[in-house]
Structure 1
Amino acid sequence: MRRLALTVGEPAGIGPDICLEVARQPPAGVAITLIGDITLLRARASQLGYEVSLVPLAPGVPAASLPNTVSVRHVPLARLPDAGRPLPVNAPALLETLNVAVSGCLDGHFDGLVTAPLDKGVICDAGVPFSGHTEYLAGRTGTEQVVMLLVAGALRVALATTHLPLRQVPDALSVSGLTGTVRILAHDLRRRFGIARPHIAVCGLNPHAGERGHLGREEIDVIAPAIAAAVAEGIDVTGPLPADTLFTPSRLEPFDAVLAMYHDQGLPTLKYAGFGQAVNVTLGLPIVRTSVDHGTAYDLAGSGRANAGSLRAALDLAATLGTG
């Protein structure tokens, strides 16, 4: 039985809805513990018409295994929000759900963490700097460098930079940073995904991968040296390749993963290919962590129309990822 912690995310969004839906009918061989405010979850379950028993779970107690019975590690909110109306005053409690989940994974109570979506802006509006789950979890686990990987079926796209304004991306790229990213990607493709010798494609930053320096020198000065360093370590990596043609079936076929230079270089293609079923995986952490490929969808909260497909996929993948 794989024991997974599932944080409910932004309480005014669809996180509680989809968490309740999947927790009522978890994947085979998976025990789910919801981490959030049990009063909110009970109210949302009633609003959605779900017949489910939510049971408070104390540390060290096994998760519930009866049908329609869901274990909850209660983390109280400052105020219960209405569906679709987020409250910045709840920001500390939202971060505490992550703290509780990470601690549970590190102490062996959980085998992995799955996260429902948070709203970065709401947390920042509370005066708490927050650039996303990926960066926060790196800090909580003392991990120097992590890599964001999105998975949609056989397509895996990792990011060299994550949530940055586009004008900051070139300055955020370095030979050592890119080499470290490739190293983590290759290592976790082996450790987590069981790929014995992963083959990685690396995108260029500029159109046509810089046209030999005529459209920018990042490929020559940063990306190619990083690839050479990774190859010298025995990693099977190819690039820099033009991103506009790399994301075609025939070009992708030889590769186990693609490393894109920035968020909107790699993720539009992946989400087009698998939106609603794609999964966000954080590589480099000492724990397994997956998440959904979408946001809080305030307009759907409490309506019963939210699609839990990506969350189910995140749970399924977390249950299969290696931990060694």
Structure 2
Amino acid sequence: MSAFLKLLLLISLFHFGSAARSLSETSSDQTQQPSLQFQYHNGPLLSGKFSINLIWYGNFKPSQRAIVSDFITSLASPPQPKPASGQPSVATWLKSIEKYYHLLSSKKQYSLSLSLGTQTLDDKYSLGKSLTARQIQQLASKGAQNYAINVVLTSSDVLVDGFCMSKCGSHSSSSSSSHIRGKTQKFTYIWVGNSETQCPGQCAWPFHQPIYGPQGPPLVAPNNDVGLDGMVINLASLLAGTVTNPFGNGYYQGPKEAPLEAASACPGVYGKGAYPGYAGNLLVDPTTGASYNAHGSNGKKFLLPALFDPSTSTCSTLV
């Protein structure tokens, strides 16, 4: 394999999912030329009204917590103040996931509503500063488990197995402590780490110089926090995967242990014209110079990943 192709493969590690991913094909416009076909594996997708509970592990400033909580609130609410007509929003991004539901052959009516639930602060590092996957699951179980997605967010001084080596976060499911009609239920959870001091070039690109691959100037983060803006990108990607492949038998391509999912199938794509090392044509705040592609609550702006469109087999961007 040539050195150039090795670099392209490394680029695909930057943001998404629970294991290393590689691109089997590259193009000057990934939004038009994806390299895979999605498959549905006959399992359930999340449907109904779900609360997203945040478990903050480690040291986070209130302003940092507000970035994530405003992103979650934005999933269901139109941006306030309202942006100019036709401007993309976080809610619009989430709505595009409905295409996965429309392709299901079942006559069952699916609907999905996400809202901000409870927030738990563990700033005393109750499990130490080096966590295993089992300990992440233990932290996730602190949130409500009925119709919930529990999100564990670890601060920049916390080490997690595999973090910065093969993943920037992960999503999974676990047996719930509650039982309905004699059956053990499952709940879904997500973990995302703050890469600011450990690997921002890998998990917070394009807001930091990449570790590998084509070198271009980093973009200005929309909320002026490279680590947290990077966490939002990864959280959004994993949230899309959780919704469409919550228990490992929904929509994905490739091996079940390292699947390409709704967002991880389009690594590094944020706007039209994206290619390795270039995030695409994005909106730019005239005052701060920050790059973004979605408006959210409380006047915040976010950069969200492209989503694979199963009806067209292309990567669909907001801008």
What TM-score, normalized by structure 2, do the two folds share? 0.27
Higher RCO (CA 8 Å, separation ≥ 6 residues): 2
Larger radius of gyration: 1
What TM-score, normalized by structure 1, do the two folds share? 0.27
Higher helix share: 1
Higher strand share: 2
